[in-house]
Amino acid sequence: MLRTALLWASTNPFLARRLPRYAFVRRATRRFMPGETLDDALRAAEGLRGRGAPTTLTLLGENVATAAEADAVTDQYLGILEAVRGRGLDTEVSVKPTQLGLDLGLDAARRRLERMAEASGQAGLVWLDMESSAYVDRTLEMFRAVRQDHAGVGLCLQAYLRRTEGDLEDLLPLSPAIRLVKGAYREPPEVAFPRKKDVDRAFVRLAAVLLEARKAGRAGRVVLGTHDGRIVAEAGSLARELGLGPGHWEVAMLYGIRTGEQGRLLREGVPLRILISYGTAWFPWYMRRLAERPANVWFVLKQLPG
Ligand SMILES: Cc1cc2nc3c(=O)[nH]c(=O)nc-3n(C[C@H](O)[C@H](O)[C@H](O)COP(=O)(O)OP(=O)(O)OC[C@H]3O[C@@H](n4cnc5c(N)ncnc54)[C@H](O)[C@@H]3O)c2cc1C
Position with higher pLDDT, 157 vs 148: 157
Which residue's CA is minimally distant from atom 25 of ligand 1?
226
The 10s digit of each residue's pLDDT in 185-231 is 989 999 999 999 999 999 999 999 999 999 999 889 999 999 999 99
| Three-state DSSP state, 275 | strand
From 57, 182, 270, the mutation candidate for ligand 1 (largest count of ligand atoms within 8 A of CB) is 182
List, for residues 253-264, the tens digit of each pLDDT value: 999 999 999 999
Task: Give residue 122's pLDDT.
Answer: 58
pLDDT at 305 (0 to 100) = 65
Percent of the chain having pLDDT more than 90? 73
227 lines ligand 1 (CB under 6 A): yes
pLDDT at 12: 85
| Type of residue numbered 135 | Y
Provide the pairing of β-strand 272-278 with 55-59. Answer: parallel
pLDDT for residue 29 is more than 70: yes
Predicted local confidence at residue 30, as pLDDT = 79
Q: Tell me what pLDDT residue 137 has.
A: 98
Question: Who wins on pLDDT, 7 or 230?
Answer: 230
**Does residue 28 surpass a pLDDT of 80?**
no
Q: What integer pLDDT is reported at residue 19 of this predicted model?
A: 81
Average pLDDT over residues 95-124: 92
Per the model's pLDDT, the better-predicted residue between 300 and 115 turns out to be: 115
Give, for 272, the enclosing helix (H) or strand (E). Answer: strand 272-278
What pLDDT was estimated at residue 213? Answer: 97
**Given this model, what pLDDT does residue 303 score?**
65
pLDDT band at 296 (very low <50, low <70, confident <90, very high): confident
Q: Is the pLDDT confidence value at 123 over 60?
A: no
Alpha helices in the chain (DSSP H): 2-10, 13-18, 23-29, 38-50, 67-86, 106-120, 136-149, 164-171, 196-215, 229-242, 259-267, 283-292, 296-302
30-57 b/e with 16+ CB inside 10 Å = b?
Answer: ebbbbebebebbbebbeebbeeebbbbb
Q: Is the CB of 92 under 6 A from ligand 1?
A: no
Out of 129, 167, 200, 228, the active site residue is 129
Q: What is the pLDDT of residues 65-101, one digit of tens each?
A: 999 999 999 999 999 999 999 999 999 999 999 999 9
**pLDDT value at 139 more than 60:** yes
